[in-house]
Amino acid sequence: MPLYEYHCQNCTEDFEKIVRFSEANLLPPCPVCGSTDTHKKISAAASFGNASSSGASSSGSSCGSGGGFS
Ligand SMILES: [Zn+2]
């Protein structure tokens, strides 16, 4: 069953309620103040931020010349 978010316009309370599909059009009363002046919040698509991809920066390989002094 879907979980809907509601917003009470009377006391500005946000609450969630699991609603059957047959009851999806019914607005539940506010659990705080009991007002039926509620409306369903449209759950927008989750916006997931772009994780900054940190490029694997390999430190410069030091090609050391083995100088053998005799
Ligand atoms: Zn309320």
The parent domain of residue 23 ranges over: 3-41
Global pTM reads 0.56
Residue 51 lies in a domain: no
Neighbours of 30 (CB within 10 A): 21
∠ Cα 48 51 57 (to 5°): 170
pLDDT higher at 4 or 62? 4
The residues facing 7 across adjacent strands are 14, 39
Distance from residue 22's CA to the centre of ligand 1 (Å): 23
Q: How many domains does the chain have?
A: 1
Residue 20 lies in a domain: yes
**11: in domain:** yes
CB-side exposure of 67: number of CA atoms within 13 Å? 2
Whether 46 is covered by a domain: the verdict is no
Phi, psi of 13 (to 5 degrees): -90, 135
Q: What is the pLDDT of residue 22?
A: 87
Measured in Å, residue 28 CA sits from the centre of ligand 1 at: 11
Q: Is residue 36 part of a domain?
A: yes
pLDDT tops 60 at residue 11: yes
Neighbours of ion ligand 1 (CB under 5 A): 8, 10-11, 13, 30, 32-33, 35
pLDDT in tens, 16-58: 998 888 887 888 999 999 999 999 987 654 445 555 556 666 6
- The answer to whether residue 37 is domain-embedded is yes
Q: Rounded distance, CA 68 to CA 48, Å? A: 57
